[in-house]
Structure 1
Amino acid sequence: MRDVSLLLIIPMVTAVLCWRIKQNRIGEKLQVAGALLNVFAGLSLAWNVFFHAPVTGWHRLIYVDALGAFNVMLIVLIGFIASLYSVGYIRHEIAEKMINAEKSRYYYLWFHLFIGTMLVVSVVNNLGLLWVGIELTTLVSALLVAFYRKETSLEAAWKYLIMGSVGIAFALLGIIFLYLSGANLFGENTESLNWTTLNRAAEQLNPQWTLIAFIFVLVGFGTKAGLAPMHFWLPDAHSEAPSPVSAVLSGVLLNTALYGVFRVYTIVNTALDGKASVYLIFFGLFSMAVTVPFILVQHDIKRMLAYSSVEHMGIIALGVGIGGTLGLYGAVLHMFHHSMAKSLLFFAAGNINQKYHSKRIERISGILKTMPVTGSIFLIAAFAIMGTPPFNVFVSEFTIMSAGFQKGHLTATILFVLFVVLIFSGMMYYVVRMSFGEAPSKLEKKEVDRWSTAALFIPLLAVVVLGLYVPPFFHKMIQQVAFVLQGGKL
């Protein structure tokens, strides 16, 4: 429990200190140190869970199994990389007079509170508290989406708040219906909404109520996860937020919303004897299908990456829906691989936007000439996110495809491959166009701030290495998470 306590306290303390300390250089180093401390706390917690046993405490309000530990691990890792990247990014914005020094303190305040709210979601046992945690992520991250206070960013934040709130309301109804499905078993027991309680009694829950509950939760938390057709907030929010925030939104917030869906799915799928999976397959494929036309006719680099996130959330949902040991393994692996590759892409895109002073694709060309390091990394990350071998995303996509054929989901798997190919074609056209070609004459051959460039190499390592080799300990961790998603109890 000490690791859990530290995990929740560190971001809050870091946020407040960064807000109160007026010396910017001290504050920015302090926030990196706080994020690094959180990495140690998160990885220590994950180690205890994966190699010993789930962690429980606070009168069973806290419960961290392999699924929770996996999400914690992703949050602290992406959070640290984003905090490191933010130093150079925010310095550049101050130098360009996009923001002032005082506003940077508010950025770090909201950024670390945002990380803290996602960690709360990952460690609570009670589904009601999980709902509260996801609602808090909406409120805090909306402030970051509206950070620049421009008309477009305020509009994006407003749309995000409205759609997020409507989605969260649906999810709350779903959780109430899930409670009703076991009301005759638990009565007014204070633990009747604990995931551990519901999961143990899943086979005894009322199947009609559990199905209704799952549909509401899928639509509700699926809105936050960016599943189509509830995804409309996502391209605007990702496009308008500061690039490190876009990386966190895409890399871990979407996973955290899916985490809420999967917590309920493990209960409902057992209660319905596996029949809930068809809904995940449908929403997964539909999310991929919706992405295709928007990728093919895109003009904004960050919106293109945002629509790519809709695709990949669909792939994860599809993998869990296909199920079986191989399908779940591929889905969990894809959660990790997408987080690393997509956050890397948003970081690289942030460097490019600051260099070219534009997000418009037609105004960006010759990246490899003007920014050799960032351009090379951007090209690698783009190939990775498109599922090109030998990078990490290809491994998880191939695993899900293999599971689809193995489980007899022939039509769904063929559609999956078709959508991946179409999206690959669209993204490849724009990526090649931006990476090569003539660079604008007014731009000198120089990288942006060294902090922003150095941060790129951490996720790059995961993108390259995990495409070629999966370490045994990492393989074991993914297996344990997949086991929890099957309804197993560690």
Structure 2
Amino acid sequence: MVTILSLVVPTVTGVLSIFIRRAWLRETIHLIGSIATSFIGLLLVGTVIIQGPITNSNQFFHIDALSAVILAIISIVNLTTSIHSIGYIRHEQKEGLLNVRQTRQYYMLYHFFIATMVFVAVVNNMGLLWVSIEATTIVSAFLVAIYQKGEALEATWKYLMICSAGIAFALLGVIILYASSIAKLGASNQVLNWTVLSNSHFVLQPDLVALSFVFIMVGFGTKVGLAPMHFWLPDAHSQAPSPVSALLSGVLLNCAMLGLIRFGIVAENTIHGQLIQHLFIGFGLFSVGIAFPFILVQKDFKRMLAFSTIEHMGIIAVALGMGGPLGYSAALLQMFNHSMGKSMLFLTAGNVNQKYKSKQMPRIFGVLQSMPFTGFVFLIGTLAITGVPPFNIFTSEFSIFVAGFREGHAWITSVLILFIAFIFAAMMFHMIKMIFGENVRERMSTGEVSRWNTIPLVLPLFFVVLFGLYMPTSFTQLIHQASLILVGGVRA
């Protein structure tokens, strides 16, 4: 029942948002629906930690520790972005960038987007997992295009074309996996269920499974933003409203990564070779490497943050490829930590954009002086996302480095460290001028855009700081449970 509510609540909230005409009532329904969705998600996470996996009677839904990690990310980022959206959308409507109809569409699509991502986390059938990831593309594309201007429409078109092509490859991979599964089980409505395929004793046809995963790696890798299938991501992130950019970078890409992880586990149970490892490491390392030159030459700071996202998705992929209990735990921790840091940065970028009326870094100076709180959070977020101690991403990245050397990947780990060091230098080169530079623009008043834009930043800031110093036992236990699924220590 609770699992069904996790889908029903955001769906109903979205439907109500399009019909309610009074702004204050629409914002109230939006806020209540978001809080309820996050509460239900965290309730499911707590249940998994205490009681183990949740599976309903007909096995349509299945929530294990991997699902719970994604649900935790969705719940926290949703709560942050939903509050921020109120101030952000009010400002955009006041400036004439959005009309009443577009505002109503935004709130409807926002909650539909959350519902599709929750469905990714809770569905048991791997075919429906593909459907849910495709649904996230369709809904989020309308959010990217919400401004209905040339650059936004172009970014949406690129997003739809590239991700649809990629997801078609993934569909072919799912079909091939299905063919291998029915050869073993016969025609059944459970042949693509994760609870069946994840059984390490259930061995499929190796050749078909290997071919299947290659297609799935390319397909879902496109949605994750792994290079060289990443070209849609900088445009979509830069043109979307900042709360949507935070959801895209902090949540959506992790949902696609969950799909890769699930199919990777099934493939590894059958192949027991290095194909899966090589694909994850190859695509991951290439993504980290290619992010550096693009970050270095960027002028649009939201595009720079988007390329930073490509870097971090690459780091996660490398960690998954290197494997081992520590590597898997570090990869999952990196997923959570990056979501907190990057969603916070995109929201602060939205504040800066609305204050300075520009996304161009050469036109933005003295953020710390003009917007003291946003500037402070912007600084902490930049230090965190580049892996500076004592913040949360340093903890997970350091664990990845240790895992790499421990698992015998010294050269790969060394190259990864070198790329991350280059990216740190490039991002700090841009950000220091933006944050500390002298404010040379005339008549730039000191102050924040609104309290709605600043108060929600406290939540991700809390996790960015806390998880760099201390991780609660319950969260450590969740990460451990999820990593056991990856190493095959427990049955899902």
Contact in 2 for aligned 1:202/1:268 (Cα 8 Å)? no
Alignment of 1:84-99 (within 5 A): 84-99=83-98
Structure 1 residue 356 displacement after superposition: 0.4
Distance 1:189 1:369 in 2: 64
Structure 1 residue 441 displacement after superposition: 2.2
Distance 1:295 1:350 in 2: 19
Contact in 2 for aligned 1:178/1:213 (Cα 8 Å)? yes
* Match in the other structure for 1:106: 105
Deviations 1:290-345 (A, max 9, x none): 10110111110000000000000001111111110110010000000000000000
Contact in 2 for aligned 1:337/1:396 (Cα 8 Å)? yes
Which amino acid counterpart does residue 326 of structure 1 have in structure 2? L
Distance 2:201 2:446 in 1: 60
Instruction: Choose 111-120 or 26-35, whichever is displaced more.
Output: 26-35
Structure 1 residue 26 displacement after superposition: 1.3
Contact in 1 for aligned 2:392/2:467 (Cα 8 Å)? yes
Does residue 23 in structure 1 map to residue 27 in structure 2? no
Distance 1:281 1:269 in 2: 15
Contact in 1 for aligned 2:87/2:453 (Cα 8 Å)? yes
* Match in the other structure for 1:138: 137
Distance 1:3 1:281 in 2: 37
* Match in the other structure for 1:81: 80
Contact in 1 for aligned 2:200/2:269 (Cα 8 Å)? no
* Match in the other structure for 1:206: 205
Contact in 1 for aligned 2:181/2:192 (Cα 8 Å)? no
* SS in structure 2 of the partner of residue 182 of structure 1: helix
Contact in 2 for aligned 1:145/1:241 (Cα 8 Å)? yes
Distance 2:434 2:386 in 1: 16
Structure 1 residue 76 displacement after superposition: 1.8
Distance 2:481 2:368 in 1: 41
Question: What do you get for the CA RMSD once the two structures are aligned?
Answer: 1.0
* SS in structure 1 of the partner of residue 55 of structure 2: strand
* Match in the other structure for 1:367: 367
Distance 1:258 1:201 in 2: 21
* Match in the other structure for 2:449: 448
Instruction: Choose 371-380 or 42-51, whichever is displaced more.
Output: 42-51
Deviations 1:42-90 (A, max 9, x none): 1111111121021112511211111012111211211111000000000
Contact in 1 for aligned 2:361/2:434 (Cα 8 Å)? yes
Does residue 489 in structure 1 map to residue 462 in structure 2? no
* Match in the other structure for 2:265: 266
* SS in structure 2 of the partner of residue 147 of structure 1: coil
Name structure 2 gaps, 5 residues minimum. Answer: none
* Match in the other structure for 1:227: 226
Distance 2:401 2:66 in 1: 22
Deviations 1:428-486 (A, max 9, x none): 00000100121122210011111111011110000001101111111111111111122
* Match in the other structure for 1:431: 431
* Match in the other structure for 1:305: 305
* Match in the other structure for 2:412: 412
Distance 1:39 1:246 in 2: 19
* SS in structure 2 of the partner of residue 17 of structure 1: helix
% identical aligned pairs: 49
Which amino acid counterpart does residue 193 of structure 1 have in structure 2? L
Which amino acid counterpart does residue 95 of structure 1 have in structure 2? K
Contact in 2 for aligned 1:174/1:213 (Cα 8 Å)? yes
Which amino acid counterpart does residue 162 of structure 1 have in structure 2? M
Distance 1:473 1:61 in 2: 27
Distance 1:121 1:474 in 2: 21
Does residue 239 in structure 1 map to residue 241 in structure 2? no
Does residue 345 in structure 1 map to residue 351 in structure 2? no
Distance 1:397 1:171 in 2: 29
* Match in the other structure for 1:389: 389
Deviations 1:21-57 (A, max 9, x none): 1011111121111110011111111111121021112
* Match in the other structure for 1:37: 36
Deviations 1:224-264 (A, max 9, x none): 11011000000000000000000000000000001111010
With structure 2 as the length reference, what TM-score do the two structures score? 0.98
Contact in 1 for aligned 2:196/2:202 (Cα 8 Å)? no
* SS in structure 1 of the partner of residue 311 of structure 2: helix
Deviations 1:347-398 (A, max 9, x none): 0000000000000000000001100100010000000000000000000000
Contact in 1 for aligned 2:49/2:474 (Cα 8 Å)? no
Which amino acid counterpart does residue 444 of structure 1 have in structure 2? S
Structure 1 residue 203 displacement after superposition: 5.1
Distance 1:150 1:27 in 2: 25
Change (3 A) 1:61 1:144: same
How many residues align structurally? 489
Contact in 2 for aligned 1:392/1:463 (Cα 8 Å)? yes
* SS in structure 2 of the partner of residue 245 of structure 1: helix
Contact in 2 for aligned 1:85/1:455 (Cα 8 Å)? yes
Name structure 1 gaps, 5 residues minimum. Answer: none
With structure 1 as the length reference, what TM-score do the two structures score? 0.98
* Match in the other structure for 2:146: 147
Which amino acid counterpart does residue 409 of structure 1 have in structure 2? H
Contact in 2 for aligned 1:334/1:397 (Cα 8 Å)? yes
* SS in structure 2 of the partner of residue 456 of structure 1: helix
Contact in 1 for aligned 2:127/2:174 (Cα 8 Å)? yes
Distance 2:188 2:96 in 1: 56
Structure 1 residue 274 displacement after superposition: 4.5
* Match in the other structure for 2:379: 379
* Match in the other structure for 1:462: 463
